[in-house]
Amino acid sequence: MLTTLATLVAVSLTLQQGSGQGSGQSSSSSRSQGNSDTTVAVQQGARLDVNNFGGEIVVRTWNQNNVRVRGSHSSRTHVEVSSSASTVMVRTEGRRGPPSIVDLDITVPVWMAMNLSGTYTDISVDGAGGAISAESVQGDIEVTGGTGSISLKSVEGGVTLSKTKGRIEVNSVEGDISISEAVGDITVETTDGDIILSKVDAANADVNTVDGDITYDGSLKAGGSYRFATHDGDIAAVIPPTANVSGSMSTFDGDFDASFTIDTVRAGKHRITFTIGRGSNPARLELETFDGDIKLRRPGEVEIEMPDRNNKHQWKVRDNHDDNENLDFNLDIKVDPWVVTNVNVDTRAITRYAREYAREYAPKIAKKVSRSVRRNVN
């Protein structure tokens, strides 16, 4: 289901190898040391192809048929810009081995499609009007805009996508994912991170995480398919009042909770089927978690505060329906002094076991406590 580790390693190697390719098709190029500034003219339909080993790729748009590439880097590194009728290629290169940190600030026509990649690279796109592919091994990706095919992937970093339209695919291994104000079919996968979809208009959505919460506030269209699954986390789905839905909810160690009346049938010890509305051709909704709660909410009962540009990926999700719930944690351990004094206890073994137990389970317990506190306090 999830992207394999082998694929991710291959992506990393491909990104590094790609930094030296493309010079053979150039029609004009620019090499410089220190800060660099290059502008090339482009024809309608040309594509931007950028690889930066480490640093930033920041892409903005304008109404000119030109691509401007500004680079900030050390004297040990240079930026090569080459162009042909179909592609503007940007590469960063070092004198020996990989380049040092390079920050690229690129301005392109609104219509331009782009392929952006890096290894230790944060990627940011604002105002794009074409297709976007962005991949980073270790870095955050933030995209505003884009139409057509939208593919965003980060191995170790968060991904934020907003105001886009098309076929959307977002992947991360270790990072949170947020999609807002998006139109189109959506596929989202992460291993260790929360997923938030807000104000989305999707006919189909397939959302998966292993260790994280899922929040969905969007359309449930007639005949559409919506599947949300997590192994260790809660799921909250907002149901529009006019929705016509047929679905199922399953959890092994968690509760079902709806803030409104629904028709349910217990299909098994841990699974419930339900219907909402009476229309034909209902949307199909599947909610699955192994260790977590499943909540159905009305619009306005789940508030999502999205991050600003200076506070990436720090979302707040408030469940107003749970505001009156109290959270009480109490740990009470009593030790009989007689036992400690008179019984032969291998304290070294106990200490070693306690350390191993804490190392294995403390992060998981801490994350669950943090998740509960966030739901009830924020």
Over residues 179-209, the pLDDT tens digits come to 999 999 999 999 999 999 999 999 999 999 9
pLDDT-wise least confident of 294-308, 311-325, 329-343: 329-343
Interval 67-86: pLDDT, tens: 999 999 988 888 999 999 99
Most confident of 93-107, 168-182, 276-290: 168-182
Given a cut of 80, whether residue 357 has pLDDT beyond it is no
**For residue 201, what are the contacts with CB-CB under 8 A and spacing of at least 6?**
182, 183, 184, 218, 219
pLDDT band at 278 (very low <50, low <70, confident <90, very high): confident
Q: What is the pLDDT of residue 27?
A: 37
pLDDT band at 126 (very low <50, low <70, confident <90, very high): very high
Average pLDDT of the residues in 258-285: 86
Q: What is the pLDDT of residue 9?
A: 38
Residue 129, class by beta-carbon neighbours within 10 Å (0-12 exposed, 13-18 middle, 19+ buried)? middle
For tokens 């220190």, name the residue: 34
pLDDT band at 356 (very low <50, low <70, confident <90, very high): low
Query: What proportion of the chain, given as a percentage, has pLDDT over 70?
Result: 71
Given a cut of 70, whether residue 375 has pLDDT beyond it is no
Q: What is the pLDDT of residue 98?
A: 75
Interval 77-116: pLDDT, tens: 889 999 999 999 999 988 777 778 999 999 999 999 999 9
Count the Cβ atoms, other than its own, within 10 Å of residue 333. Answer: 4
Nearest CA-CA partner of 47 in 80, 82, 99, 3: 82
Given a cut of 90, whether residue 139 has pLDDT beyond it is yes
- CA distances, 234 to each of 77, 294, 296, 323 (Å): 47, 6, 11, 16
Element (H, E) at 8: helix 5-17
Element (H, E) at 174: strand 159-174
**For residue 363, what are the contacts with CB-CB under 8 A and spacing of at least 6?**
none
Q: What is the pLDDT of residue 271?
A: 87
Interval 203-237: pLDDT, tens: 999 999 999 999 999 999 999 999 999 999 999 99
Tell how strand 87-94 and strand 113-128 pair up: unpaired
Average pLDDT over all residues of the chain:
81
Average pLDDT of the residues in 351-367: 57
Interval 1-53: pLDDT, tens: 444 434 443 444 344 444 333 334 443 344 444 689 999 999 999 999 999 99
Which one-letter DSSP state was computed for residue 268? S
Find out whether 94 and 112 touch, Cβ atoms under 8 Å.
no
Given a cut of 60, whether residue 313 has pLDDT beyond it is no
Average pLDDT of the residues in 241-251: 91
The rounded distance, in Å, linking the Cα atoms of 228 and 245 is: 15
Given a cut of 50, whether residue 319 has pLDDT beyond it is yes
Partnered with residue 303 across adjacent β-strands are: 318
pLDDT band at 266 (very low <50, low <70, confident <90, very high): confident
